[in-house]
Structures are given as C-alpha cells and as structure tokens.
Amino acid sequence: MKISLEQNITIMDPCACLVIACHEQGQRTANAQKIEESSGGFLSRFLASGDFTAEPGQCQLLYGVPGIGAERLLLVGVGSGEKLADGKLQKAARALGQTIAKAQLTNVSLALCDVSIAHRSMSEAMEIWLRGILDAQYRFDQHKKPAKHPRRSLEQIHVLPAPENSATNQQEMQDAIATALAISQANDWARDLANQPGNICTPSWLAEQAVNMAAQRGIESEVLGPVEMEELGMHLLLGVAQGSRQEPRLIVLHYRGGAADAAPIVLVGKGLTFDAGGISLKPADKMDEMKYDMCGGAAALAAIQAAADLALPLNITVIVPASENLPDGQATKPGDIHRSMAGLSVEIINTDAEGRLILADALTYAKRFHPDVVIDMATLTGACIIALGHQTAAVLGNHEGLVAELLHAGRSSQDRAWELPLFEDYQEQLKSPFADLSNVGGRPAGTITAACFLSRFTEDYRWAHLDIAGVAWQSGENKGATGRPVPLLVHFLRQRAKAV
C-alpha cells in the first residue's frame, strides 16, 4: 500500500476515483461546490432524486460525471453543514472503506480536507479517514482455496490537501499518513496472529512470529521456556500450562529508540493461545473463539512493531506470557495452590480465571527492567462485556496520571476506554483461608477484582490494566479479531514520544 500527499494535483485532474464529502441537499463542501459548477449542476440533480441523503455512513459511487477528469466520483455523506462529531466521522470513514473494498478499487484520490471536524485538526481527521479505508481492506483467507477470480486490492491512495494548507500543516499531514499506515499494518498483523487457529498459533509459534518481526526491525528478542520459568519461580504461569502438551513461552522484546538511560515503557500482553477453561471447562458454544484469548499479546507485539516503524524516540519492552489452558490428568485442579514469582501463594478456585495468573508472573518479571510505566492488556473478564459492551475497553490502575493518558489516547484514536474504580475495599473479595489470595473474587465486580488481583503484583511501579474482552474480537457471521487496542497504544506511545 502506498499513500502519498499530493501538492500539485487538483480535483479536476484525471484520476481513477475521486472521493469528496457531500452534505445534505442545499449545502456543499468547497470541493463539492467545484464539482457542482464544473458538472453543470449534476450534484444538485442527483441529490434531488432522493437516492442519496448524504447521511454519515452513506456512500455512493458514480460513473461518467460530466465536467471532471475522474473516471469515478465517490460521494461520502457527512450530514448537515455543522462540524462533524467524532462518532459520525468514524461512521463515515468506515462506510468509505467498505465501499472502496466492495468496489475493489485499486487507486483513489481523497479530497476530504474541506470537511469541518469538531475538535480535530485537518491532519487528525485525515488519519481517521485513512484508517477507516485501510481497516476495510483486511482479509484473512489464507486457509481457503484460492478464488477463481482473485479480489483486486487497494494499492494507491492520493491525499489531496486543502488549498490553504501551510507548510506546517503539510508536515502534520505527512505525520498523520505515516501514523495511519503504521497503525494499519500493526493492526493487520495483530489480527493475523489472533485469527490463526489454535493448532497453528501455539505458544512456540507465537514466539517465532515475534522473533521474526523483531529481527526485521532491529528489536532485541529473548524467549524463555519452562526451564527458565522454573528457575525464576513462575509457578502461576507453569501451573496454567501444565494441562497442555504445548510448552509455555515468555516472549520478551526490547525496542531501544530512546536515550540509553531512559526507563522503558513496558507493555505486557496476555498470550493464551487457546483457553478451554482447564478443569473448569468452558461451554462448547463459541469455544472456538477462545483462540482470541491471546489478543492482548498480539496487540502488545503489534504496538512495538508500530513504534519501530515510526522510529519513536522511546525505550519500549514487551512481555507476552504465552500458554494454553487445557484439561488433562496433569492440569491444575480447583483448590490447588501455586506460588507466584513474587512469592505470594494463590488458591486456584476457578481454573478458567487463568489470564490473571500468567499475567501476575509476567508483571513481576517486568520489575527487573526498572520501568517508567507498565501497561498490561488482556481479554480478561466476561464481566467487562456486561459492564461496557463491545464498544469500550476498561482501564484501571494505580496511577491517576497514567490512566488519564490512556483515556486521552483512547479518545484521540477513537479506540476508547473507560475507567473503572480500583478501591481497596474490593481486595476483600480475594481473601483465601488457605493462601495469600484467591484467583477469583466471586461474580460481583468481576472486572475490578481481576484488576485487584493484578495490582498485588504491581505495587513497585506505576501500572495500568486494559481489559479488552469486549473489544478485541467480534462474533457472528463476520467474526474475527479487531486489532484493538493497537490504535490506543500507538497514540499513547506517540504522545509519550512528543514529550521527550
């Protein structure tokens, strides 16, 4: 995919497909007005037909429009002439991407810089337009028989700037293009990893993919196996994996883009490559989707890839504990007690609450890197879906400033999160009569008590937790990984880089 910012191309020049924004009847963007004049009132006549209302989320591809050089004209509805709010912008961008993908367009020219967006600069809006287009191009069909007539893919996007663009705005636009492309590529890789079936995406396979990606970008990598984990005392991670024939792995990557003495940002991602629930076996319905229990690990790996591609001046470490959670004669049983790397004993009440166990040892391991901050991301609790649905991730943490940064990054990237409380009172639900703590706290406040469990292993540094159970994948006919929270993480890292 190539995206170029064009300085010497106008909307009247020949192109394969010109994309412009269209307001409701009687209102026009600057580019729509130019098309209206050059086409002898074509747009007015078309809108008068009532076939296209120009609501956000509506698109129309037209052929043979008179008076313009474009072979095709693609109209994107943006509603009334008022400034477009975030939700409607995202809806319009997604619809644009889906229309381009369905039409199998290979080359498009975007003339969208004349759309007024509420609380966003021109470059910020362009990033969202581009991400909507790029996201819709994603396909995961590598296990299908090759099609007789392969789909055409989008190869080139030309971004036409507004006439009043200054040199500064041009640089901002270039940065937005680079960010959109890096997020898209990282997001697609995260989706590829997560969409692989569990018989391919095992802990060792996931580690191989991470090492290969790192080698291509000069990122340092290390992979720990059961022997090293035993030496470190990672008995929570080993306990989860002991019911599987697949050995666990601890994937560790270091991107060193910052000063040699700068403390790293540590990203920890849950890497359960398949989760049957262990002895506390999950219901058969939708168990196939438990291959997505490694989406947190995929997002962490994708985020460090994007940071390297953008050459961010930061030091970043990624830790992904990877294992399976299956039932067999050696699997952890409810009531078993394992000791963590941190020295705390944990009574395993429910073996299906395994993500917090492998994360606990990984979060303890993170301490050795003397981190600036630590952020973990995990498809951790079904309770998060009940609380926030499939639209929003949950964020909890022990540092208000870090939580606020993540919330801002979520709003900026439109990969939103919402803060839940982490009051000390909730720790009471984790008490055990036989161990230092239990791995579950009952049904009430399930997302919060899971984070409370993690907090017991993060007391020595600033930490935040993203529960992405509701946003990491979608079910149904179009089931698949979404790549979230890659956009949020990349925006967080970019904001950190700007402050360096």
Residues annotated as catalytic (active site), given as ranges: 282, 356
CA 429 centroid distance within chain: 31
Cβ atoms of 399 and 488 within 8 Å: the answer is: no
Both tokens of residue 88?
Answer: 């409607």
| Pairing assessment for the beta strands 70-77 and 15-22 based on DSSP bridges | parallel
DSSP reduced 3-state for 107: strand
As a residue count, the chain comes to 500
Q: Please say whether the beta carbons of 68 and 12 come within 8 A.
A: yes
**Host H or E run for residue 273:** strand 271-275
Give strand pairing partners of 109. 18, 158
* Contact predicate 39/94, CB 8 Å: no
Q: What is the DSSP letter of 57?
A: T
Nearest by Cα to 210 from 240, 365, 219:
219
Residues with Cβ within 8 Å of residue 33, at least 6 apart in sequence: none
Give CA angle at 302 (145, 87), nearest 5°. 90
> Cβ–Cβ contacts within 10 Å for residue 215, how many?
11
Longest dimension (CA), the chain: 82
Q: Under a CB-based contact definition with an 8 Å cutoff, are residues 309 and 255 in contact?
A: no
Amino acid making up residue 412: S
Helices 122-136/86-103 angle, 10° precision: 40
**Distances from the Cα of 21 to the Cαs of 73, 81, 383, 493, in angstroms?**
10, 11, 40, 31
Which burial class, exposed, middle or buried, applies to 48 when counting CB atoms under 10 A from its CB (0-12, 13-18, 19+)? Answer: exposed
Q: How far apart are CA 437 and CA 72, in angstroms?
A: 64
